[in-house]
Structure formats: structure tokens, C-alpha cells
């Protein structure tokens, strides 16, 4: 019985690692389907969404100039 516990632990660790990797690298198809949320918005509605996001200080958005992948950034209006 003692040998089964480490094997179970390794199996659980492997499953958790695979779940993490699957969530960290979404497929291009997943990204496209998420972007479809904005397809039916008018120009004014897109501007309203952008203004709302910029108004949210808790998001800590930064202009895209000089940004890095580690920062949250958005195109300024």
C-alpha cells in the first residue's frame, strides 16, 4: 500500500500540471470565439467600452507604447 500513495500523488500532480498548461495556452479558435462578443457592436459602443475600461483604475491599464507582455495595456483614446 505504501507504494500506491506516491504513484497517486504523481498522477494527481500530472493532471494538475496538464490542466494548468491547457488553460495557459488557449487555442486560436478559442480566442476567436471570445472576440466574437464585440462583432455586433457599433463604433459608438466600442468607444463606450474602451472609455469604461480606461475609467477603471483597478485594471491598471497602460498605453500600448513601450508596453511589455507583463503589463496590462490598452490602446488609448
Cell 495557459 found at? 24
Q: HSE, CB side, 13 Å, CA atoms: give it for residue 16.
A: 6
Q: Are residues 46 and 33 in the same domain?
A: no
Q: Are residues 76 and 52 in the same domain?
A: yes
The span from the CA of 63 to the CA of 18, in Å, is 34
Query: Domain residues for 76?
Result: 41-77
Q: Are residues 50 and 65 in the same domain?
A: yes
pLDDT at 13 over 70: yes
pLDDT at 66 over 80: no
What pLDDT sits at residue 33? 62
Q: Are residues 24 and 56 in the same domain?
A: no
Strand partners, 62: 73
The span from the CA of 68 to the CA of 60, in Å, is 14
Q: Are residues 31 and 45 in the same domain?
A: no
- 77 Cβ neighbours under 8 A, 6+ residues apart: 47, 50, 51, 54
Confidence tier at 15 by pLDDT (50, 70, 90): confident
Q: Considering its fold, how many domains does the chain have in total?
A: 2
Q: Are residues 30 and 49 in the same domain?
A: no
pLDDT at 72 over 60: no
- The pTM is what? 0.41
Residue length of the chain: 77
Q: Are residues 5 and 29 in the same domain?
A: yes
Amino acid at each position: 500500500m505504501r507504494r500506491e500513495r506516491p504513484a497517486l500523488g504523481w498522477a494527481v500532480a500530472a493532471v494538475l500540471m496538464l490542466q494548468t498548461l491547457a488553460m495557459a495556452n488557449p487555442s486560436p479558435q478559442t480566442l476567436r470565439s471570445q472576440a466574437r462578443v464585440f462583432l455586433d457592436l457599433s463604433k459608438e459602443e466600442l468607444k463606450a467600452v474602451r472609455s469604461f475600461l480606461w475609467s477603471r483604475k483597478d485594471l491598471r491599464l497602460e498605453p500600448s507604447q513601450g508596453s511589455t507582455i507583463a503589463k496590462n495595456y490598452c490602446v488609448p483614446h
